[in-house]
């Protein structure tokens, strides 16, 4: 899932400009799961913005809603009516959600309240670890389901660096070496041959904005 955290409150308040009526919009998808975009967080942010406006000698009217998912257009009908009488939307969705809302509801300003961090999974209650960087060239089939881009601080594609020792990471010895974990995983699977082929590193500077439609793929 996508993991995001709340922006500094001062930055959020500044982005509101002179807007007097705000729809604080949560998301029932990823940001709700990581405790930054659900009903509680949406209510809290609305209260904080009202308090900050009062301290600044202003008065703003806030309304709170949580939509199913901000990143999918099929759910937008739920908020179109609510968005008609506000000066701006303050989104607690990911960056993709903010952009879709801004496009579909233009010219209404849609302002992000969160910083989108990474794609991750739950490590513990309220703790999330980055597991995917959306590199566009997934290697998990050859690395035992362990991502060398996110799990190795150096993003090494072809085996451990010279600094790993006792299966620990050189950058942070508290962490296991990702490539040792990959080796051990593939060994347990009887698939060590999967890492014998040298793979080209990701050329990040060549990455372009991407889109994908399964329906278009089926037509081809």
Which domains are assigned to the chain?
2-118 (3.40.50.11860), 135-200 (no CATH)
d(CA 144, CA 21): 51
Quote the pLDDT of residue 141: 77
Pairing of strands 61-67, 2-6: unpaired
Q: The tokens of 175 are what?
A: 């962490």
Quote the pLDDT of residue 205: 55
Q: What is the DSSP string of 78-127?
A: HHHTGGGG-SEEEE-S-HHHHHHHHHHTTTS-EEE-EEEEEEEEEEETTE
Residues 6+ positions from 190 with CB-CB distance below 8 Å: none
Quote the pLDDT of residue 122: 65
Four-residue CA torsion sign, 90, 95, 101, 102? positive
pLDDT tens sequence across 13-47: 999 989 999 999 999 999 999 899 999 999 999 99
Strand order in the sheet with 127-132: 2-6, 114-124, 127-132
Burial class of residue 59 (count of CB atoms within 10 Å of its CB; 0-12, 13-18, 19+): exposed
d(CA 80, CA 30): 21
Quote the pLDDT of residue 202: 65
Q: Do 69 and 78 contact (CB within 8 A), yes or no?
A: no
Four-residue CA torsion sign, 33, 34, 40, 44? negative
Nearest Cα residue to 41 out of 27, 52, 59? 27
Say how many residues make up the chain. 220
Q: The tokens of 174 are what?
A: 């508290």
Residue 122, CA atoms < 13 Å, CB-side half-sphere: 9
Q: Please give the model's pTM, rounded to 2 decimal places.
A: 0.72
Q: Which pLDDT tens digits describe the chain residue by residue (220 residues)?
A: 888 899 999 999 999 989 999 999 999 999 999 899 999 999 999 999 999 999 999 999 999 999 999 988 889 987 898 999 999 999 999 988 988 898 899 889 899 899 888 777 666 777 767 677 777 666 777 888 888 888 888 878 888 888 888 999 999 998 999 999 999 988 998 889 888 888 776 665 545 544 444 454 444 4
Residues 6+ positions from 3 with CB-CB distance below 8 Å: 30, 34, 116, 117, 118, 119, 120, 128, 130
DSSP designation for 205:
G
Q: Do 136 and 207 contact (CB within 8 A), yes or no?
A: yes
């Amino acid at each position: 899932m996508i993991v995001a955290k709340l922006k500094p409150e001062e930055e959020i308040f500044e982005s509101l400009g002179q807007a007097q009526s705000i729809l604080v919009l949560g998301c029932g998808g990823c940001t709700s799961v990581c405790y930054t975009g659900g009903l509680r967080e949406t209510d809290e942010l609305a209260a904080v913005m009202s308090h900050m406006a009062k301290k600044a000698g202003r008065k703003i009217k806030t309304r709170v809603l949580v939509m199913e998912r901000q990143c999918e257009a099929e759910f937008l009908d739920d908020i179109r009516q609510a968005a008609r009488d506000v000066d701006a939307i303050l989104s607690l969705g990911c960056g993709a959600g903010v952009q879709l809302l801004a496009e579909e509801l233009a010219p209404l300003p849609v302002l992000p309240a969160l910083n989108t961090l990474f794609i991750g999974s739950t490590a513990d209650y309220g703790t999330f670890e980055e597991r995917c960087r959306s590199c566009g060239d997934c290697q998990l089939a050859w690395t035992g389901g362990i991502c060398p881009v996110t799990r190795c601080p150096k993003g090494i594609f072809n085996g451990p660096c010279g600094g790993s020792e006792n299966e620990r990471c050189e950058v942070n010895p508290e962490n296991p070496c990702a490539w040792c974990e990959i080796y051990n995983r593939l060994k347990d699977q009887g698939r060590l041959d999967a890492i014998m082929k040298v793979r080209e590193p990701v050329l990040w500077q060549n990455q372009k904005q991407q889109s994908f439609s399964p329906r278009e793929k089926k037509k081809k």
